[in-house]
Structure 1
Amino acid sequence: MNNSTCINETQWSSSSFRFLVSTVVYGLVLSVGLPLNAVSLWILLRQHGLRSPCAVLMINLAAADLLLALSLPLRVYFYATLKWPFGASTCTVAILLFRINIRMSCIFITIISVDRLLALVFPLRSRSLRTSAFACKCCSLVWILITILCIPEGITFHRALKSCHYMPCFEMQITNVPMTIKIGQATFLLTLLMVNIVCTVVVIVVLRRRPGGDATNVNNKMSVVLIFVVNTLFFIVFFLPFTLQILAFGKKNYDEVLRAFVCLASVNCCLDPLIYYFSLDSFWQVKGKNQTKAVCYSLSRSQERL
Structure 2
Amino acid sequence: MFNVTLENGTELDKKNTVYALVFGSVLALGLPLNAVSLWILLRCHSLKTPSAVFMVNLAISDLLLVISLPMRVYFYATGTWPLGDLACICITMFFRNNIRSSSIFITFISVDRLLAVVYPLRSRHLRTACNALKAAGLAWLFVFVVNVPESVGFARFLKGINESICFEFGPRPLPTSPLVYLQPVLVFSLLAVNIVSTALVSWTLRRRLNDSTRVRNKVNIMLLFAMNLMMFTVFFLPVSLFVLFKSWRPALTSLICLASVNCCLDPLLYYFSFDGFWKGKEDVDSSAARE
Name 2:282's counterpart in structure 1.
Answer: 295
Return 5+ residue gaps in structure 1 as ranges: 1-5, 286-291
Q: Pick from 43, 47, 62: which aligns with 2:40?
A: 43
Return the offset for 1:246: 2.5
**Any idea what the Cα deviations from partners look like across 1:83-110, whole Å, max 9, x if unmatched?**
1111111111111122112211111111
Compare 235-244 and 160-169 and name the one that shifted more: 160-169
Q: Indicate if the aligned counterparts of 1:242 and 1:261 stay in contact, CA closer than 8 A.
A: yes
Q: Indicate if the aligned counterparts of 1:22 and 1:263 stay in contact, CA closer than 8 A.
A: yes
Return the offset for 1:20: 1.7
Return 5+ residue gaps in structure 2 as ranges: none
CA separation of 1:282/1:119 partners in 2, compared to 1, >3 Å: closer, same or farther?
closer
Name 1:288's counterpart in structure 2.
Answer: none
Q: Indicate if the aligned counterparts of 2:58 and 2:101 stay in contact, CA closer than 8 A.
A: yes
For 2:282, give the aligned amino acid. Answer: V
Q: Indicate if the aligned counterparts of 1:231 and 1:275 stay in contact, CA closer than 8 A.
A: no
The 5-angstrom pairing of residues 147-166 of structure 1 reads 147-166=144-163
Compare 37-46 and 165-174 and name the one that shifted more: 165-174
C-alpha distance in 1 between matches for 2:106 and 2:8: 36
C-alpha distance in 2 between matches for 1:41 and 1:154: 29
C-alpha distance in 1 between matches for 2:115 and 2:226: 16
For 1:9, give the aligned amino acid. Answer: T
Q: Could you tell me the percent identity over the aligned residues?
A: 47
C-alpha distance in 2 between matches for 1:17 and 1:42: 38
Name 1:264's counterpart in structure 2.
Answer: 258
The 5-angstrom pairing of residues 1-306 of structure 1 reads 9-11=5-7, 13=9, 15-172=12-169, 175=174, 177-178=176-177, 180-214=178-212, 216-248=213-245, 251=246, 254-273=248-267, 274-278=269-273, 281-284=275-278, 292=280, 294-296=281-283, 299-306=284-291
Q: Indicate if the aligned counterparts of 2:68 and 2:91 stay in contact, CA closer than 8 A.
A: yes
**Any idea what the Cα deviations from partners look like across 1:225-275, whole Å, max 9, x if unmatched?**
111111111111112222333311xx3x53221221121000000000121
Aligned residue for 2:81, secondary structure, equals coil
CA separation of 1:159/1:243 partners in 2, compared to 1, >3 Å: closer, same or farther?
closer
Q: Indicate if the aligned counterparts of 2:3 and 2:81 stay in contact, CA closer than 8 A.
A: no
What is the TM-score with the length of structure 2 in the denominator? 0.91
Q: Indicate if the aligned counterparts of 2:23 and 2:69 stay in contact, CA closer than 8 A.
A: yes
CA separation of 1:228/1:152 partners in 2, compared to 1, >3 Å: closer, same or farther?
same
Compare 217-226 and 61-70 and name the one that shifted more: 217-226
C-alpha distance in 2 between matches for 1:102 and 1:239: 6
Q: Indicate if the aligned counterparts of 1:120 and 1:303 stay in contact, CA closer than 8 A.
A: yes
- Number of residues paired by the alignment? 286
For 2:108, give the aligned amino acid. Answer: I
CA separation of 1:303/1:8 partners in 2, compared to 1, >3 Å: closer, same or farther?
closer
Runs of 4+ in 1 over 6 A off after TM superposition: none
What is the TM-score with the length of structure 1 in the denominator? 0.87
CA separation of 1:185/1:304 partners in 2, compared to 1, >3 Å: closer, same or farther?
closer
For 1:177, give the aligned amino acid. Answer: T
Return the offset for 1:224: 1.4
C-alpha distance in 1 between matches for 2:4 and 2:64: 31
Q: Indicate if the aligned counterparts of 1:104 and 1:143 stay in contact, CA closer than 8 A.
A: yes
CA separation of 1:88/1:204 partners in 2, compared to 1, >3 Å: closer, same or farther?
same
